Every structure is written in C-alpha cells, then in structure tokens.
C-alpha cells in the first residue's frame, strides 16, 4: 500500500502552528488533528505554579496525544490517507525536560518512551521559528487569559529547547523531511504569496 504523508506543524507557543496547520488542511484537503487546549484542566493552574502542577499537566498532554496518535494511525495512516497535525508527539518531551525535575522526570521519560516509541511518527515537519517578541505579540493577540502572565524567560528557554528538539528529530533514522519557516518574516496569514510558497514547498516534500 502506498505510504501517506503524515505532516506535523511545530514551533514554540504562539508560533502559528494551529493557524498554519488549519490553512494547509483546507488547501491540501487533508484532515487535521488539533491538540486539546481549552478543555485542559491543568493549564491555568500550571501557569500559576509550574513546579506544583507540571507532572499532572505533562501527563494530561501525553495521554491525550497518545490517544489522538492511536486514532490517527487507525483512521488515516493505516488506510494510506494523509493527515496533518498541529503538533509532533516529541513536543511532550521538549516541554517535560524543561518543566519536570528529578524522579518525576525519570518516571515521565519512561512512560513517554513506553507509550510512543512504537507509534507512527510524522515524516514531514514544518518548523515555525520565531523570536521572543514575535511570540509574545501573538500570545497577546490570541488573548488566552491563562497565558497572559507567562514568564518571558520560560518562553525564551522554550525557543532554544525547540531548536535542539527539532535538531534531534532531524538526526533520527529514518529522518523526517523538515521545512523551516521564519515566523518573524513570513506572514502566511496576511500575505497570500507567502502562504502559496509554503504550499508549494510542502507539495514538493510530499512527492
């Protein structure tokens, strides 16, 4: 059976993942898998006290994404149907390595690998990079109340963690194809030509 592309859009908080994944889903007629944010009962508490709530939050994200990935495999990939997601499962580890410590991090790593090592992984990653000011501006624009007090130092650290995380994924075998987008300069929302260029680049990667 022909292999169907599994595309993940990644980047730090506010980079534009959901926006771009939704636009590409419409343009390329691909179903979209979106992460669960608003229904997450721990996000609010997490931003008020990261040390207190990080384990619950990371486990919640992990379990939700595990279920979504399982469904994605059954509903689309095993039927050779392409799919686009607004995250890569590896994002769990990028965040957990930053928010967890000690024995909780050790336990989390084991559970992460147990759950995800044999799961389907995206073969194409669209990585949106953006600097702190751009991300803070977009987070303000999105206006989720629980994100407004986010410590800029946390976001700045995540920008670096993401660069390392995507580099790590690029070195895996088989290596995913990675399209990096400069989110400071490329405005796929307002600039149609720039969006079309991304569509054309993605089509090339799919072939």
137 vs 139: CA distance, rounded Å? 6
* Catalytic residue selected from 44, 51, 86, 182: 86
Q: Quote the CA–CA distance of 37 and 78 in Å, as a whole number.
A: 27
Contacts with 162 (C-beta within 8 Å, 6 or more apart), sequence order: 10, 11, 12, 94, 127, 129
Query: Where does 76-131 have alpha helices with state H?
Result: 91-99, 102-116
Binds ligand ADP by CB under 6 A, chosen from 5, 6, 8, 16: 16
The encoded tokens of residue 192 equal 């149609």
By the rule CB under 6 A, 92 interacts with ligand LCKSPGMD = yes
- Binding-site string for ligand LCKSPGMD from residue 134 to residue 153, where x marks contact by CB under 6 A and - marks none: -------------x------
Active site residue 86: yes
Q: Which does 141 bind (CB under 5 to 8 A by kind): ligand ADP, ligand LCKSPGMD, none?
A: ligand ADP
120 known ligand binder:
no
116 annotated to bind ligand? no
- The footprint of ligand ADP (CB under 6 A) covers 11, 13-19, 86, 138, 141-142, 187-189
């Amino acid at each position: 059976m022909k292999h169907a592309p599994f595309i993940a859009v990644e980047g730090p908080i506010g980079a534009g993942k959901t926006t771009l994944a939704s636009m590409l889903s419409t343009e390329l007629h691909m179903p979209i898998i979106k992460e669960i944010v608003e229904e997450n009962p721990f996000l609010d508490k997490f931003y008020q006290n990261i040390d207190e709530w990080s384990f619950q939050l990371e486990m919640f994200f992990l379990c939700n994404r595990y279920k979504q990935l399982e469904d994605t495999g059954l509903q689309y990939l095993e039927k050779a149907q392409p799919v686009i997601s607004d995250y890569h499962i590896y994002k769990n580890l990028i965040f957990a390595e930053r928010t967890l410590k000690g024995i909780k991090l050790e336990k989390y790593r084991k559970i992460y690998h147990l759950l995800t090592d044999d799961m389907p992984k995206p073969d194409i990653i669209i990585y949106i990079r953006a600097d702190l000011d751009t991300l803070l501006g977009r987070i303000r624009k999105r206006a989720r109340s629980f994100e407004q007090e986010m410590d800029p130092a946390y976001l700045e650290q995540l920008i670096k963690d993401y660069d390392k995380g995507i580099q790590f994924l690029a070195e895996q075998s088989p290596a995913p194809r990675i399209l990096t987008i400069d989110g400071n300069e490329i405005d796929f929302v307002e600039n149609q030509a720039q969006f079309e260029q991304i569509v054309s680049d993605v089509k090339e990667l799919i072939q």
